[in-house]
Amino acid sequence: MTEQPPPGENTRAVHLPPSPMPHQAPLGTPVWRSATFAFETSQEYADVLGDRVPGYTYSRVDNPTSDGFAAAVAALEGVRVGGVTGQAFASGMAAITAVLMTFTHAGAHVVAPAAAYGGTYGLLSELLSRFGVRTDFVDMTDPATVRAAIRPETRIVWAETLANPTMAVADLPALAEAAHEAGALLVVDSTFATPVVCRPLEHGADLVIHSATKYIGGHSDATGGVVVGRTGVMAPVRGVRIHTGGMLAPDEAFLLRRGLETLPLRVRRQCDTAALVAAAAARHPAVARVDYPGLPGHPGRETARRLFDAGPEGTRFGAVVTITPHGGAQAGMALADGLRLAKVATSLGGTHTLAGHIASTTHRQMDARALAAAGIDPGAVRFSIGLEDADDLIHDVNNALTALGRIGVQDGALNS
């Protein structure tokens, strides 16, 4: 072997000394922004990639920051349930796609809510249907209807803890019983609830999904998703995530994990404000209907009281309020456009209050019949209540509602 000459400037630049690896535990979350990890030997590389030895090979497969985020959500959802693990995803839809692809196949059947998030509805009805997965969209608030829809080939009963946007409350224990009797899984999208309001694994769910883009991140600056459940159920989800490439990036994982630290503070405050906004809107003469489970008369109120956490402020009923003015779709759009403080924007769960006309935006995948089946009025506007002062929000919503009368939308004049 000849003696190696000193490396050239490019080699020296690429092969810099590694950053120190502290032995002290950092309080903040380190961002492991590396797509790949180097090994001492080929054998070690093969063993880690083959899952025979723990470790990291490639960040689509596993990444310490992203895995740490998923483990943190698993800890919050599984606080009273042992052996819960998680997988992190690049978005809520990536998480939903991976779960549906893991547990269905051509010929499999899914029972899903008629009032599901539009993206989930579209994925099942437009995309997975092409691969032979059949879905019945039913009223999830009625366990008897769900039971009647279940067939021998049903693999998944899908529920949303709080439905988007009707705020219907899923009776999780009854749905779990119906699913398990048929050998199916109960999968719960708990994006609207967060573990601060309800932890579905404690009520019989097999898997819980979040769009972490929403309350978990909490600041509308990161996109991500997460699936948690008992280790045995979760095991095949990782394989599908690796195949489909929906892994969460480490920078996003850093932001989402940081969001978890203030999740209870934010969500409790948002729930309190939402209750006040819902009550004020319900008193306004321009309003035909307010969907909020904290209001007397909401069909999910008693189920929420049974399943949701309560603090000194009472039961936490979530922080999304759906307000339907008189006057149909145009009135709904005019209500959203009349807001000054609340922003017209998609998404929810952040510090800013966001509003959107539902039928033309988040649920545009649904035709008039599907909207009616989901109990969504063409004029409904969804409000995601943020961290502003309640009085300012009530003032903003009241002003926009009162303006509907002045521009003649409320009596249907613009609607004809």
Ligand X SMILES: Cc1ncc(COP(=O)(O)O)c(C=O)c1O
| Residue from 175, 393, 166, 357 nearest 273 by CA | 393
| Identity of the residue, 213 or 353, whose beta carbon is nearer to ligand X in the bound complex | 213
In angstroms, the first-to-last Cα distance of the chain is 89
Q: Measure CA 180 to chain center.
A: 23
E-assigned strands of 41-197? 84-89, 109-113, 134-138, 154-160, 185-189
Q: Give the nearest distance from C-beta 164 to ligand X in angstroms.
A: 4
Which residue among the candidates 67, 171, 189, 291 is catalytic per the annotation?
189
Q: Give the nearest distance from C-beta 214 to ligand X in angstroms.
A: 6
| Identity of the residue, 160 or 396, whose beta carbon is nearer to ligand X in the bound complex | 160
Q: Please give the Cα distance from 346 to 182 (Å, whole number).
A: 37
Task: Find the residue with minimal CB distance to ligand X.
Answer: 92
Which residue among the candidates 45, 47, 56, 60 is catalytic per the annotation?
60
Q: Please give the Cα distance from 243 to 245 (Å, whole number).
A: 6
Active site residue 117: yes
Please list, in sequence order, all residues whose beta carbon lies within 8 angstroms of the beta carbon of residue 124, skipping any fewer than 6 positions away: 100, 110, 112, 116, 133, 135, 137
| Identity of the residue, 191 or 273, whose beta carbon is nearer to ligand X in the bound complex | 191
Which residue among the candidates 214, 238, 241, 257 is catalytic per the annotation?
214
Q: Give the nearest distance from C-beta 283 to ligand X in angstroms.
A: 28
Where on the chain is the footprint of ligand X (CB under 6 A)? 91-93, 117, 119, 160, 164, 189, 191-192, 211, 213, 223, 225
Amino acid at residue number 319 = A
Cross-strand partners of 383: 321, 355
| Identity of the residue, 351 or 415, whose beta carbon is nearer to ligand X in the bound complex | 351
| Identity of the residue, 182 or 320, whose beta carbon is nearer to ligand X in the bound complex | 320
Q: Please give the Cα distance from 34 to 57 (Å, whole number).
A: 10
Q: Give the nearest distance from C-beta 190 to ligand X in angstroms.
A: 8
Dihedral sign for Cα atoms in the order 47, 49, 53, 55: positive
Q: Give the nearest distance from C-beta 1 to ligand X in angstroms.
A: 54
Active site residue 60: yes
CA angle 179, 184, 185 (to 5 degrees): 85
> Which residues are known to be catalytic?
60, 117, 189, 214
